[in-house]
Amino acid sequence: MQHHDRHIPVLLERCVELLAPALERPGAVLLDATLGLGGHAEAFLQRFPELTLVGLDRDPDALARTGERLAPFADRIRLVHAVYDEVPEVLEREGIPALDGVLFDLGVSSMQLDEAERGFAYAQDAPLDMRMDNSTGVTAADVLAEYDESELRRIFYEYGDEKLAPRFASRIVARRQERPILRSGDLVDIIAAATPAAVQRTGHPAKRVFQALRIEVNQELSVLERAVPNALDALAVGGRIVVLAYQSLEDRIVKRELAVRTASTAPAGLPVELPEHAPRFRALVRGAELAGDEERAVNSRATPVRLRAAERIREENR
């Protein structure tokens, strides 16, 4: 079975509904900033026959596989090996002055989770890699070998909200003095041995540590803090953005940036809002939307999703 046969794009119909008014315009360009297996991209290309799609992914394997999937649309796609904070550079190279739509489907892709050798899944023993782009950068094994105890404790706290961070960091440092921690099974064993039985009954003890390591290895939050403003800046008036976030740290970054962009910049107490102080964007949904019961029942990966969306309503101040 092909990967894309197993993959159900999260909130697909809602994404199409929100982006459609912008993508129906002549010559519309959609940026899929997190191409992955191309489920969303394929649907947009099918439904909007005049659409040009620019797809970014930092994973060369995902780009290659998705390129095959999207081959029927070869004359309308531009697939680029890039991290999604590189939007300005990509658009300049591609000669695209502005975007009509942007989609971010954040987090680890289905393909990366399903391929045990990538080391993302705590349920499968594999080398501790966790790089979304496995051609460059440090691995999770490198982090476990090189970070001191305080650094490990910090990332487990900040990126995993792990209350047992001090205990886990201490045990990891002690174990690596005996032998390197190179496989996910080794790390799971260390964490399980350090976790009280009562805590283990509330869920897999390694889940938050693996999330924290993945975020650190791929610098996901710092990349996102640059990527969302870059994407918003690239939208034409009437252009729309949809972001799907799967954990609170990502969602908080998106929420904060959209709050700034949809707010008036008028000084407090000004009796009349001048045009230059008017918001540049308007929110398309109230707060963050969740997947419905029906979608969560058929697609477990939709369970934690938080969707936010906005539309550019005026140019930047000049």
- In the annotated binding site for S-adenosyl-L-methionine, the residues are 38-40, 57, 84, 105, 112
Which of 26, 20, 21, 93 has the alpha carbon at shortest distance from 54? 93
Q: DSSP secondary structure string, the chain?
A: --HHHH---TTHHHHHHHHHHHHTSTT-EEEESS-TT-HHHHHHHHH-TT-EEEEEES-HHHHHHHHHHTGGGGGGEEEEE--TT-HHHHHHHHT---EEEEEEE-S--HHHHH-GGG---TTS--BS---SSTTSS--HHHHHHHS-HHHHHHHHHHHH--TTHHHHHHHHHHHHTTS---BHHHHHHHHHHHS-HHHHTTS-TTHHHHHHHHHHHHTHHHHHHHHHHHHHHHEEEEEEEEEEE-SHHHHHHHHHHHHHHTS--PPTT-SS--GGGS-SEEESSSS-B---HHHHHH-GGGTT-EEEEEEE-SPPP-
Binding residues: 38-40, 57, 84, 105, 112
**Are 78 and 53 a contacting pair, CB within 8 Å?**
yes
Closest CA to 281 of 303, 298, 305, 265: 265
